[in-house]
Amino acid sequence: MFTGIITDMGEIRATEDRGDLRARIATAYETQGIDIGASIACDGVCLTVIALGEDWFDVDISAETLSKTNLGTQFGGDGWQVGRRVNLERALKVGDELGGHIVSGHVDGVAQIVEMRDEGDSTRVTLRAPEDLAKYIAPKGSVALNGTSLTVNEVDGCTFGINFIPHTKAVTTWGQAKTGDWVNLEIDTLARYVARLRDFA
């Protein structure tokens, strides 16, 4: 479980196709305090640490994950290439501050940035969600985009808007975002279960 509050920007140091994709991610985390088998959200995808070094950790990424997220190339993006920066968050511990919202790290699909414009020092971003996920996105509700907990400004059909303040752009990969990018989308857990219960009402 995560909160969507990014605590490090890692960098893809190496990748290797072993049937699954293995990636080595450079990090500023103190890796001595990370256990093998720990979960780390990488661009919003919950991945398991399988090896550790002084300033890096390794993860395996299944074909299923590659097919459903922007870690692969099926949506027209570059996927995880060496040098790419990624948002990182370690798993929530009992007693930690819940600064964002409850995030599982189980990405539901990908959304595409269709417009970006500056509003003062902030950046307003419009994204298009898959039709089957758009119904779960509500104004003033929460979404996780590339692992970042964000508040939805408005919704119009399958498009929705968010704002990035300067701090968010500085401490996450959102400072490098551009129109056309595909981003990992996790809808709010509460919205998912409310809709499920409604289906049986």
What is each CA distance from 74 to 34, 132, 190, in whole angstroms?
32, 19, 29
pTM of the complete model: 0.92
| CATH class label, 109-199 | mainly beta
Q: What is the mean pLDDT of the chain?
A: 92
The whole-number average pLDDT for the span 27-38 is 97
The whole-number average pLDDT for the span 162-183 is 96
Fold that domain 8-90 belongs to in CATH: Elongation Factor Tu (Ef-tu); domain 3 (2.40.30)
The whole-number average pLDDT for the span 174-195 is 87
Q: In this model, does residue 147 exceed pLDDT 80? A: yes
The whole-number average pLDDT for the span 75-99 is 85
Q: In this model, does residue 200 exceed pLDDT 90? A: no
Q: Which of 21-35, 72-86, 144-158 has the lowest mean pLDDT?
A: 72-86
Distance CA 183, CA 185 (A): 6
Structure tokens of 128?
């298009």
Please report which confidence band the pLDDT of residue 128 belongs to, taking 50, 70 and 90 as the band edges.
very high
Give pLDDT, residue 102.
83
- Which strands, in side-by-side order, build the sheet including 142-145? 148-151, 142-145, 182-187, 109-119, 122-128, 159-164, 154-156
For the chain, residues classed under CATH 2.40.30.20 are: 8-90, 109-199
Distance CA 9, CA 27 (A): 7
